């Protein structure tokens, strides 16, 4: 794992977006694995600004998102479909047909999981952008998800629902289940960029880097991947800096 520590979020966002832009310029048919949540917002803003200023084209890029809530209307502002449209896709020249997000609304969730695995087999991910939950989850793979999991339905941990309640009217409105790429699906990516900011991620970050490789902390699996870059601000890095 290569660890990069930044003094502020802006310089971190610039560094990560530069890598993504370089990838797309060098390989216009890249497959990007994308994340939602607060963490990638600044990175997506940089991508949108760059597209406007330098015309980096996403016409042939394929994107595959990590996860989606189960049972939430796609058009709800809290859905990850809406998140991606508003915070990235609508401002790029990307073909909506090339943007994939798991279907959490369908009645046949098993078929939706299988369909998502098929999409990733057809479009292996070149670079996967990842956040980390305060409980160490990646995607919505909560603690104790098997490392060999593919796309599946997961019961969201109370910690995750509480962390994400800010995007809903109340905790009761946060869905209890999600459809998520599995841990194997994530580690199949050729390269992984994990981003963590803020003090509430410091414990999970320390476990991911120095802890045992154990499903109790899903992000610890990244120690086994040959091509992972971790981008941290000082707050998220605070416990690894103090343990040196």
Catalytic sites, residue numbers: 67, 135, 137, 142
Compare residues 133 and 215 and give the one whose CB is closer to ligand PGA: 133
Compare residues 31 and 66 and give the one whose CB is closer to ligand PGA: 66
Residues that bind ligand PGA in the complex, under the rule CB under 6 A: 37-39, 131-133
Residue, CB closest to ligand PGA: 37
Compare residues 104 and 131 and give the one whose CB is closer to ligand PGA: 131
What's the min distance (Å) between Cβ of 244 and ligand PGA? 25
Diameter over CA atoms, the chain:
50
How large is the C-alpha radius of gyration of the chain?
Answer: 17
What's the min distance (Å) between Cβ of 37 and ligand PGA? 3
Compare residues 98 and 225 and give the one whose CB is closer to ligand PGA: 225
Compare residues 44 and 89 and give the one whose CB is closer to ligand PGA: 44
């Amino acid at each position: 794992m290569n660890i990069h520590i930044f003094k502020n979020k802006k310089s971190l966002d610039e560094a990560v977006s530069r890598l993504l832009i370089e990838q797309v310029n060098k390989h216009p048919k890249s497959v990007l694995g994308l994340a939602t949540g607060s963490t990638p917002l600044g990175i997506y803003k940089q991508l949108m600004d760059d597209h406007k200023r330098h015309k980096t084209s996403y016409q042939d890029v394929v994107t595959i998102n990590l996860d989606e809530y189960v049972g939430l209307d796609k058009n709800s502002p809290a859905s990850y479909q809406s998140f991606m449209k508003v915070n990235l896709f609508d401002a790029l020249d990307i073909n909506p047909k090339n943007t994939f997000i798991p279907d959490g609304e369908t009645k046949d969730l098993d078929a939706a999981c299988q369909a998502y695995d098929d999409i990733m087999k057809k479009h292996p991910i070149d670079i996967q952008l990842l956040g980390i939950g305060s409980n160490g989850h990646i995607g919505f793979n909560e603690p104790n998800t098997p490392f060999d999991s593919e796309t599946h339905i997961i019961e969201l941990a109370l910690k995750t629902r509480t962390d994400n309640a800010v995007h809903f009217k109340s905790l009761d409105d946060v869905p209890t289940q999600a459809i998520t790429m599995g841990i194997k699906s994530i580690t199949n990516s050729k390269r992984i960029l994990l981003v963590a900011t803020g003090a509430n991620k410091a414990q999970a970050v320390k476990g991911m880097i120095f802890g045992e490789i154990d499903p109790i902390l899903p992000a610890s699996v990244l120690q086994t991947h040959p091509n992972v870059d971790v981008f941290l601000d000082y707050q998220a890095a605070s416990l690894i800096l103090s343990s040196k």
